[in-house]
Amino acid sequence: MATKGTKAGRPARAGTKAKAAVKKTPSKKTLANTAPAKKAAPRKKPATKSATTALAEYRRKRDFTRTREPAGGRASEGARLAYVIQKHAASHLHFDLRLELDGVMKSWAVPKGPSLDPTVKRLAMQVEDHPIEYNKFEGTIPEGEYGGGTVMLWDRGTYTAPGGGADAEDVLRRGYEKGDFKFELQGKRLRGSWVLVRIRRDEERRQWLLIKHRDEYAHEGADIVAEETTSVATGRSMEEIAEG
Binding site for Mn ion (CB under 5 A): 88, 96
Measured from the CB atom, the residue of 93 and 120 that comes closer to Mn ion is 93
Count of Cβ atoms closer than 10 Å to residue 216 Cβ: 8
Measured from the CB atom, the residue of 151 and 171 that comes closer to Mn ion is 151
β-bridge partners, 156: 84
Rounded to whole angstroms, the Cα distance separating 177 from 49 reads 14
Q: How far is the CB of 90 from Mn ion (least distance, A)?
A: 6
Measured from the CB atom, the residue of 63 and 215 that comes closer to Mn ion is 63
Q: How far is the CB of 151 from Mn ion (least distance, A)?
A: 7
Per the CB < 8 A criterion, the answer to whether 76 and 132 are in contact is: yes
Q: How far is the CB of 63 from Mn ion (least distance, A)?
A: 17
**Burial degree of 28 (CB within 10 A; 0-12, 13-18, 19+):** exposed
**Residue of this chain nearest to Mn ion (CB atom):** 88
Q: Where is 240: in which H helix or E strand?
A: helix 238-243
How far is CA 224 from its chain centroid?
Answer: 21
Measured from the CB atom, the residue of 152 and 171 that comes closer to Mn ion is 152
Q: How far is the CB of 148 from Mn ion (least distance, A)?
A: 10
